[in-house]
């Protein structure tokens, strides 16, 4: 009788949180009725704290990374293309201050926080996941950002927390029309208005999906661009001409849409660390958190007396 085949133990999940998305969401959705002890608004901090506590309570992650955009207005991509994200307004001081508080809250809870002046949160998430795979982790990317889908392989998941939708590498095509590994090429072709990336004129989502389904990737498409005229797509000859005329731009756009996997990381281990009870007390007092939030922070931190309401 044959012995049963050994089963592979499941990979330990590493939760990778796109913090900036949830800070911005709270900034726009939470009422402007929360203020710190100096009178500065704290609506984004309160909203982010609620999200973070829900995540910690629901998932109880042993390994977690929280990535922030340190430079809200510039990164290495601006050196490649100065107009990158130039369509966005600069974050006001009221919001910048709250980013600092959100990072401090994560640190006080013992979470690994990543931020870098030259790299975006997406790059830090990609680099952390790339490094963690060598230690047997699979990724759970907590973000709705389609750019991050390019990172999915194997048993990785992406989780749109607000809509409670999860998908793996296999589900990317149903959502975006292309495979996970084609996302950067797809965005280079179609452009990304959110990031002020023009794309190739005349190439929309449907055309880009057909091109990548046929050629596989942008490099092969550009090398065999004369074949585009024979494809059953509307205006095939014009599309081929546009691709030829904008070859160098398309390659530049891909450099912008590709998530870096080699960003410097301030942490090389992403397990939850020891919470800082004194720091939590200070933040709760300074941000004027209410009793319920303080109790939840106490429970999430594991510090028994850290965040009781001041008498």
pLDDT tens for each residue of 265-290: 987 778 899 999 999 999 999 999 99
Query: What pLDDT is recorded for position 268?
Result: 72
State yes or no: pLDDT of 230 exceeds 80.
Answer: yes
Kindly tell me if the per-residue pLDDT of 4 is higher than 90: no
Q: What is the DSSP string of 34-59?
A: -B-TTS-B-HHHHHHHHHHHHHHHHH
- φ, ψ of residue 299 to 5 degrees: the values are -65, -40
pLDDT of residue 164: 96
Amino acid 267: pLDDT:
75
On the question of a common fold for 12-176+261-273 and 180-257, the answer reads no
Closest CA to 208 of 151, 123, 197: 197
Residue 2 has pLDDT above 70, yes or no: no
Please check the confidence at residue 310 and state whether its pLDDT lies above 70: no
Per-residue pLDDT for 306 more than 50? no
CA 283 to the chain's CA centroid: 25
Among 132, 113, 115, 102, CA closest to 71 = 115
| pLDDT-based confidence at residue 303 (cuts at 50, 70, 90) | low
Domain extents in the chain? 12-176+261-273, 180-257
- What pLDDT sits at residue 202? 93
Q: 22-33 burial, b if ≥16 CB within 10 A, otherwise e? A: bbbbbbeebeee
- Distance between CA 281 and CA 304 in Å, rounded? 12
Q: 180-257, which class in CATH?
A: mainly alpha
Mean pLDDT of the chain: 92
- Per residue in 35-83, pLDDT tens? 998 999 999 999 999 999 999 999 999 999 999 998 666 799 999 999 9
Read off the DSSP letter of residue 169. Answer: G
Say if residues 38 and 86 touch (Cβ distance below 8 Å): no
Fold of 12-176+261-273: Rossmann fold (3.40.50)
Give me the mean pLDDT over the 183-200 stretch: 97
Task: Give the per-residue pLDDT at 70.
Answer: 85
């Amino acid at each position: 009788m044959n012995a049963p085949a050994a089963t592979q133990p499941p990979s330990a999940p590493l939760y990778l949180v796109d913090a900036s998305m949830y800070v911005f969401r709270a900034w726009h959705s939470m009422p402007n009725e929360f203020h710190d002890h100096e009178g500065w608004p704290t609506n984004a901090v309160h909203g982010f704290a609620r999200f973070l506590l829900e995540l910690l309570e629901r998932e109880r992650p042993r390994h977690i990374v929280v990535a922030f955009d340190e430079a809200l207005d510039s990164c290495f991509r601006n050196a490649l293309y100065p107009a990158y994200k130039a369509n966005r307004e600069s974050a006001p001081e009221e919001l910048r201050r709250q980013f600092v508080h959100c990072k401090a809250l994560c640190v006080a809870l013992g979470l690994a926080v990543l931020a870098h002046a030259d790299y975006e949160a997406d790059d830090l998430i990609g680099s952390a996941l790339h490094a963690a795979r060598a230690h047997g982790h699979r990724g759970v990317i907590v973000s709705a950002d389609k750019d991050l889908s390019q990172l999915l392989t194997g048993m990785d998941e992406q989780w749109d927390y607000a809509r409670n939708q999860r998908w793996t590498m296999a589900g990317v095509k149903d959502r975006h029309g292309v495979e996970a590994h084609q996302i950067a090429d797809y965005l280079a072709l179609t452009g990304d208005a959110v990031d002020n990336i023009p794309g190739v004129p005349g190439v929309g989502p449907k055309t880009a999906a057909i091109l990548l389904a046929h050629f596989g990737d942008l490099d092969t498409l550009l090398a065999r661009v004369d074949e585009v005229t024979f494809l059953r797509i509307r205006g095939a000859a014009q599309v081929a001409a546009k691709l030829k005329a904008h070859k160098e731009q398309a390659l530049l756009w891909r450099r912008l849409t590709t998530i870096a996997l080699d960003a410097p990381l301030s942490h090389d281990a992403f397990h939850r660390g020891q919470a800082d009870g004194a720091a939590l007390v200070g933040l709760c007092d300074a941000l004027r958190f209410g009793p319920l939030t303080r109790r939840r922070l106490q429970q999430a931190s594991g510090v028994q007396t850290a965040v009781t309401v001041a008498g």
